[in-house]
A = this chain, B = another copy of it.
């Protein structure tokens, strides 16, 4: 029987569950959306139901499933596969997700946080294919990351490694959700870029005029996308926001290159979809924040997996054992 793997991208709002073959191709996909106010038990029940749907009445073993992988949208104790908590949804405190899945489906399960799982996805099936030493940075509403050394994910001694979003790039800078100041996430997440753009529009109405127009006149609707669209048009306000974003990212990436000397830095998530508008100046500025040998050795690449990165990473995690 052909080997199969189940991948589960367990986000706080969207859950994607897929059955994959041994090459990581997604054969069937189930999607679930959590209603506002949804709790952990309801989300979990939806996910388990989706897996049953994929198995179509067979046991996991009879369907050829070798393992289940889960990428969870919050911190996980990886060796035990216990969810620590979700910052968005109540009821995930200390949920033994790996044990629950193994009991229900009688195959091995692996659970890790979504940043590590996204890293594995790009490594096995995306921009990192064939590479051994990469750093993955996901720039969405927050900033997560993962490290791969010698072809293996580096999770750290208490599986808390990869918090690239909470490395400090501007001491005394804006307050971050983690309670510290000047973290990369507080400057360059989609949320933070949007906030900087709104601050610009409010603090300097002339410079921010185009941002406001693109947002239909409502400053609250100015987002990172607004700023990048304005920058693409050549608007000085949009370019200011973009240039600052590039500077902070270049410092963080330059530090990563000097420290780790990887083959590639792979940027995923919504912000990285800005393409050349972001990547061209970012590669140039990173050179100015980094020594030559590690700069010359590394490429700064967009992620390749796009929307299904999470579930494909979960499949890669299932295959990792």
- Which residue numbers of A lie inside 8 Å of B, CB to CB? 75, 132-133, 147, 149, 154-164, 166-171, 178, 180, 247, 251, 254-256, 258-263, 288-291, 293-294, 296-298
Contact = CB atoms under 8 A, between A and B. Distances in A.
Nearest to A134: B157
Given A160-B291, A163-B258, A170-B171, 16 more contacts: A149-B149, A156-B260, A157-B261, A157-B262, A157-B263, A158-B293, A159-B261, A160-B261, A160-B293, A160-B294, A162-B261, A163-B259, A166-B291, A167-B259, A168-B251, A259-B259
B255 A167 contact: yes
B260 A161 contact: yes
Contacts of A254: 168
Contacts of A156: 133, 260-262, 294, 297
28 contacts: A133-B156, A147-B260, A149-B149, A154-B260, A155-B261, A156-B262, A156-B294, A156-B297, A157-B261, A157-B263, A158-B297, A159-B261, A160-B294, A161-B261, A162-B259, A163-B258, A163-B259, A163-B291, A163-B294, A164-B258, A166-B258, A166-B291, A167-B258, A168-B251, A168-B289, A170-B171, A178-B291, A180-B288
Copies in the complex: 2
A133 B161 CA distance: 11
Nearest to A77: B293
B157 A149 contact: no
A137 to B, nearest CB: 11
- Name which of A147, A164, A167 has the most chain B CB atoms within 10 A of its CB: A167
B261 A158 contact: yes
